[in-house]
Amino acid sequence: MPEFSSELLANFPTNGNSEQPHITFAFGYGSGVLKQQQDLEKAKTQNQVDLILTVNNSFKFHEENLKLNPSHYSFLRYFGVSTITRIQETKGARIYFNPYVKLNTDPDTLYKYGIISRKHLIRDLLDWETLYVAGRLQKPVRVIQIDENDQDLIYALRTNLSSALHVALLLLPEEFTMKDLFLKITSLSYHGDFRMVIGENKNKILNIVVPQIDLFIDQYSHLISNDAHLHWNKTRTLNTVIKQDVTPTAIFKRLLALPKYVIYNIMESSTFKTRQYQDTEEVIRKLCMKIAVVGLGGTGSAALRFLAQAGHQAVGYEQFHIGHEHGSSHGESRIIRYTYPDLLFTQMMGDAYKLWFELEKEADEELFVQCGGLYFGDKDDP
């Protein structure tokens, strides 16, 4: 396997200053980079080394890379930088690959490198919009370069791992092994599709997890150890047993942490239909449907209070059109009511309250023009 260091990036353009490279985050992944169990026939062939390069400005990167490495590009280079950039940033997973290339610093190895913009990488990490790059980063990779001062990127990388853990736990039983957990996490993103179930490509998933178990544990042990709803003896083996809290409250907390595109797909798809997923699907649907009251006029507010007093975890939403500063029939816009103490959603609404006013300070009047105001009401408000 090739050596990975920042010297590898010398094959690609910078901004004319080596201290300010185009590439802000780069990593290698796959069988050409990390050990995997493979059959003998595949072991005899040369692995292509897969890289992903995150850039601040896709157009400028391609503009300079076409001059520096024109042979890396297919016939699309004849259509110009704008076409290549448009294809990258508007199609598929918003990543552009140059496969089967040789780099000057390592001419004996075949490489495939993908270019993705920083903004699209962060979006995929946080929301799982395509899960193409985010999925690869849920498994062990070889980091070549990362800007440790890029707090938004660091946060997005951590959130991606946390999301993978939450989704996997929702699909696992109350008791499972470390091996089960990482097989499930790997299966979520295999081929960039979180809806794949473990029955497909099972051997390929095993080939990834088993030889890399220590790397998986290093990657996720902090999250597992700090999850109050998980219990394990801290041993680092495939057969280490983990127990999770599967009460509605614990499941609800995990649901709140899911990326938005997971929620969209779970609610709209019929993928999780095997026996082992029916209970999880039922919980997800019931929780998601029970906690929302849309429209907080007199009837909606009364219904929300009744649900809260009956012990249900409930939240209400007010809908209004652009430019309308007052929701429903209230004197002020009551998008989310905050009048029901001692329930889980109270903490969530408290967080929303703080974030809203931070947003108000940042956006000023434009916030009200686009989406109205926010009013939580008083404790004794009817």
Same-domain check for residues 277 and 340: no
Same-domain check for residues 26 and 113: yes
In a domain? residue 28: yes
Pairing of strands 142-146, 230-231: unpaired
DSSP one-letter code for 14 = B
At 265 the pLDDT is 65
Q: Which of 88, 110, 145 lies at the terminal end of a domain, its last residue?
A: 145
Q: What is the CA radius of gyration of the chain?
A: 24
CB 52 within 8 A of CB 27: yes
Same-domain check for residues 136 and 168: no
In a domain? residue 43: yes
If one counts the domains in the chain, the total is 3
Same-domain check for residues 86 and 171: no
Residue 311 phi/psi, 5-degree rounding, is 95, 5
CB 304 within 8 A of CB 314: yes
Q: Which of 111, 145, 179 lies at the terminal end of a domain, its last residue?
A: 145
Q: Which of 119, 145, 171 lies at the terminal end of a domain, its last residue?
A: 145
Same-domain check for residues 138 and 58: yes
Measured distance CA(51)–CA(62) in Å, rounded = 16
pTM of the complete model: 0.68
Which H or E run contains 273?
none
In a domain? residue 361: yes
Nearest to 204 by CA among 192, 217, 222, 190: 190
Q: Report the amino acid identity of residue 315.
A: V
Same-domain check for residues 131 and 178: no
Same-domain check for residues 342 and 254: no
Same-domain check for residues 283 and 304: no
Percentage of the chain modeled with pLDDT above 70: 59
In a domain? residue 169: yes
Measured distance CA(30)–CA(15) in Å, rounded = 29
Domain that holds residue 19: 6-145
Q: pLDDT (tens digit, 0 to 9) for every residue of the chain, 382 residues total?
A: 556 667 788 899 876 555 555 899 999 998 777 766 554 345 445 568 999 999 999 999 999 999 999 999 999 888 999 999 999 999 989 999 999 999 988 888 899 999 999 999 999 999 998 899 999 999 999 999 998 889 999 999 999 999 999 999 988 999 999 999 999 999 887 744 444 444 444 577 888 899 999 999 999 999 999 999 999 988 888 999 999 998 877 887 888 788 878 776 665 554 444 444 444 445 454 454 444 666 665 555 666 666 666 666 566 665 544 444 444 444 333 444 444 444 454 555 555 556 656 656 665 555 444 444 444 444 444 4
Same-domain check for residues 175 and 280: yes
